[in-house]
């Protein structure tokens, strides 16, 4: 009896395994059939993606290169003395505008002034003696050698006066050019030494802007080229022109230095400012597409061209960029319709699209 029950249970188990295997096999066959070309899954059409289109057009284009630069005064100098002496007078205030030749400070020069007065009196006497001997020489009443000695004494005295005047000039601090003074660093009565700074003088009526660009842009730079600059400190744009391009490439950074001249008649800019620089090249005509139409993958660039209700992925070669626009060198002709809005929803090689006017 026990043997009969065991055989019956074994048969039911085998039957269940056979049914399970058959069900799995049918499911696999059904899935394979659905995935075949022309099956239900393949026949399911992808809904069109709504997009807006734009035509690639030829337009005016200006190459640009961006950099960061530092402003320098057109002329800049530390005002200092060339001799050791006591400051007797200071004739300027902090931040004062001065003209070339204005006296800024005087150092003690009493001895030099006394020597100058003495030599000037000696020169007058020597000049009178020369005139007296010249009258006598015309009458042959004095030897020519006496007249020559008198003229020599007059010349020597005159040169001595020039030497004293030079020492007085060393003790008179004057502005070497027009500009604005910085903060005063010394006081009257102080003993100053050669090279010790009184103040600074900067000509900021125009500025020098120094910046660097990658060496590969060397052919892009030229004197007279327009630059636009901005600084976070002042909410406005300034313009200038490149006045010089460096003669050497930095072998470490592989960069080229350039200098631009910027008008600062309003004196809003100051030396040392950090400036954002945009260098602009000559205007030219080229094929342009909106920046949002371009997609990039590694070194490959492409746009989605509209053809017969489909957006077709089209590889293009690009040139320069400016904010909002990309130059197309090759890949699509002028007037070709490309996707502008909706690019992010496209994939594959072609996608059915629904044109929506933006």
The pair of three-digit structure tokens given for residue 247, joined into one six-digit string: 């003669």
pLDDT at 23: 58
pLDDT at 29: 64
| Phi, psi angle pair for 231, to nearest 5° | -140, 140
Classify domain 79-198 by CATH number.
2.40.50.100
Domain 65-73+202-282 has CATH 3.40.47.10: no
SS3 breakdown of the chain: % helix, strand, coil, rounded to 5? 30, 45, 25
Residue by residue, pLDDT tens for the chain (358 residues) are: 434 444 455 656 566 656 667 656 766 666 665 555 555 444 456 688 888 888 888 888 877 888 999 999 999 999 999 999 999 999 999 999 999 999 999 999 999 999 999 999 999 999 999 999 889 888 888 888 888 899 999 999 999 999 999 999 999 999 999 999 999 999 999 999 998 999 999 999 999 999 999 988 888 888 988 899 999 888 889 999 999 999 899 999 899 999 999 999 888 999 999 999 998 877 888 899 999 989 888 888 999 998 888 889 999 998 888 788 888 888 889 988 998 988 888 888 888 888 887 5
Pinpoint the residues of the chain covered by CATH 2.40.420.20: 49-61+285-355
The pair of three-digit structure tokens given for residue 197, joined into one six-digit string: 């700074």
Classify domain 49-61+285-355 by CATH number.
2.40.420.20
CA distance 257 to 237: 22
CA distance 299 to 317: 10
pLDDT at 42: 45
**Helical (H) or strand (E) element with 91:** none
Pinpoint the residues of the chain covered by CATH 2.40.30.170: 65-73+202-282
Q: Which residues contact 205 (CB under 8 A, 6 or more apart)?
A: 74, 178, 179, 264, 265, 267
CA distance 162 to 169: 10
pLDDT at 18: 63
What b/e sequence results for 140-170 when a residue is b if at least 16 CB atoms lie within 10 Å of its CB, and e otherwise?
Answer: eebeeeebeebbebbeebeebbeebeebbeb
Pinpoint the residues of the chain covered by CATH 2.40.50.100: 79-198
pLDDT at 46: 65
* CA–CA distances in Å: residue 331 to residues 55, 314, 318, 347, 349: 14, 7, 9, 19, 15
């Amino acid at each position: 009896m026990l043997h009969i029950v065991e055989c019956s249970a074994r048969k039911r188990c085998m039957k269940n395994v056979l049914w399970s295997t058959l069900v799995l096999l049918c499911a696999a066959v059904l899935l394979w059939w659905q995935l075949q070309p022309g099956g239900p899954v393949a026949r399911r059409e992808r809904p069109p993606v709504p997009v807006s289109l734009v035509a690639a057009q030829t337009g005016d284009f200006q190459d640009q290169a961006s950099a960061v630069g530092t402003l320098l005064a057109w002329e800049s100098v530390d005002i200092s003395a060339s001799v050791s002496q006591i400051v007797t007078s200071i004739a300027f205030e902090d931040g004062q505008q001065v003209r070339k030749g204005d006296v800024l400070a005087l150092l003690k020069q009493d001895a030099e002034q006394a020597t100058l007065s003495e030599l000037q009196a000696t020169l007058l006497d020597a000049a009178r003696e020369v005139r007296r001997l010249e009258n006598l020489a015309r009458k042959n009443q004095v030897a020519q050698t006496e007249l020559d000695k008198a003229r020599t004494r007059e010349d020597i005295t005159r040169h001595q006066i020039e030497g004293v005047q030079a020492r007085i000039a060393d003790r008179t601090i004057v502005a070497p050019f027009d500009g604005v003074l910085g903060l005063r660093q010394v006081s009257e009565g102080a003993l100053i030494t050669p090279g010790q700074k009184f103040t600074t003088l900067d000509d900021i009526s125009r500025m020098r802007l120094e910046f660097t660009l990658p060496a590969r842009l060397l052919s892009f730079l030229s004197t007279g080229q327009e630059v636009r600059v901005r600084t976070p400190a002042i909410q406005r744009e300034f313009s200038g022109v490149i006045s010089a391009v460096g003669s050497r490439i930095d072998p470490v950074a592989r960069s080229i230095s350039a200098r631009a001249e910027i008008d600062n008649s309003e004196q809003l800019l100051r030396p040392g400012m950090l400036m954002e620089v945009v260098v602009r090249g000559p205007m030219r005509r080229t094929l342009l597409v909106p920046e949002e139409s371009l997609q990039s993958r590694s070194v490959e660039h492409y746009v989605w061209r509209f053809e017969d209700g489909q957006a077709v992925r089209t590889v293009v070669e690009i040139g320069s960029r400016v904010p909002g626009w990309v130059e197309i060198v090759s890949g699509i002709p002028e007037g070709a319709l490309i996707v502008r809005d909706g690019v992010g929803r496209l994939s594959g090689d072609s996608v059915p699209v629904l044109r929506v006017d933006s």
